[in-house]
Amino acid sequence: MKSTVDKGKWAEDQACAFLESEGYIVLDRNYRFMKAEVDIVAFIPDEIVFIEVRSLNNALFGRPEETITEKKKRLLYEGAEAWLYERKMEGARIRFDVISVIGEHGIDNPEISHFRNAFWL
C-alpha cells in the first residue's frame, strides 16, 4: 500500500505534466513557509499561478476540489506572499488555481480538472 506522501507526489506529478502540456512553466514545487505550503508555482505569460493539488481515488463521496478549507486558502495566500517576497516579485500579477486528480495511484490516465481563479482572499 502506498503512503499518503507517495499518493500526493504522484498527484502532483500528474498535475505538473498536465500544466506543462498546457504551456505552463513549473517554477517551484512544495514551497514551504512556516505552516504554509504551495504545491506548485507555475508561470504563463504575464502571470504567476499558485496551485493547490487535491486528489482522491474516486469521487463517490465528493470531489477533491471540495476539500479546500478557508484555513487552507489563508495558508496558500501566506505562502504566495512569502514566495513573491523572497524573489522580489511583490506586485506581480498572480492567481490561485486548483487541480483535481481522481484515480488510483499509479494509473496512466487519471481524471484531471483545472480550476482557474479558484479563489481569492
Q: What's the total number of domains in the chain?
A: 1
Q: Is residue 120 part of a domain?
A: no
Q: Is the pLDDT score of 32 beyond 80? A: yes
pLDDT value at residue 121: 64
Q: What are the tens digits of pLDDT across the range 86-95? A: 999 988 999 9
DSSP string spanning 92-105? --EEEEEEEEES-T
Output the domain CATH number for residue 79.
3.40.1350.10
The mean pLDDT of the chain is: 91
Q: Is residue 43 part of a domain?
A: yes
Cell numbers that stand for 97 in this block: 488555481
Q: Which residue has the higher pLDDT, 36 or 63?
A: 36
Q: Is residue 121 part of a domain?
A: no
Categorize the per-residue pLDDT at 1 as very low, low, confident or very high, splitting at 50, 70 and 90: low
Q: What are the tens digits of pLDDT across the range 7-27? A: 889 999 999 999 999 999 999
Cell numbers that stand for 93 in this block: 500579477
Which amino acid does the sequence have at 74?
A: R
pTM listed for this prediction = 0.92
Q: Count CB neighbours of 114 within 10 A.
A: 16
Cell numbers that stand for 36 in this block: 504554509
**Could you list the residue range(s) of the whole structural domain that residue 88 is in?**
4-115
